[in-house]
Amino acid sequence: MFVEAVERKQRFPMAAFGEEPEAPTEQLDIARGLENLPVSLWPPGAGPGPFQYTPDHVVGPGADTDPTQITFPGCICVKTPCLPGTCSCLQYEENYDDNSCLRDTGLEAKYAKPVFECNVLCHCGDHCKNRVVQRGLQFHLQVFKTDKKGWGLRTLEFIPKGRFVCEYAGEILGFSEVQRRIHLQTIHDSNYIIAIREHVYNGQVMETFVDPTYLGNIGRFLNHSCDPNLLMIPVRIDSMVPKLALFAAKDILPEEELSYDYSGRFLNLMDSEDREQVDNGKLRKPCYCGARFCTTFLPYDSSLYCPLEKPNIN
| Length of the chain, in residues | 314
What does the pLDDT average to over 281-300? 79
Q: Give per-residue pLDDT as tens, 137-157.
A: 999 999 999 998 999 999 999
Q: Give per-residue pLDDT as tens, 217-269.
A: 999 999 999 999 999 999 999 999 999 999 999 999 999 999 999 887 654 45
Entry pTM:
0.84
Among 143, 142, 116, 144, CA closest to 131: 116
26-271+284-303 fold: Beta-clip-like (2.170.270)
Q: Cα(156)–Cα(174) distance, rounded to whole angstroms?
A: 36
Segment among 91-100, 236-245, 293-302 with least mean pLDDT: 293-302
Instruction: Check whether 109 has a pLDDT greater than 60.
Output: no
Residues in Cβ contact with 17 at an 8 Å cutoff, skipping those fewer than 6 apart: none
Instruction: Check whether 6 has a pLDDT greater than 60.
Output: no
Output the DSSP codes for 187-212.
TTS----EEEEEE-GGG-EEEEEEEE
What residue spans of 54-189 are helical by DSSP H? 175-184
Q: Cα(192)–Cα(219) distance, rounded to whole angstroms?
A: 10
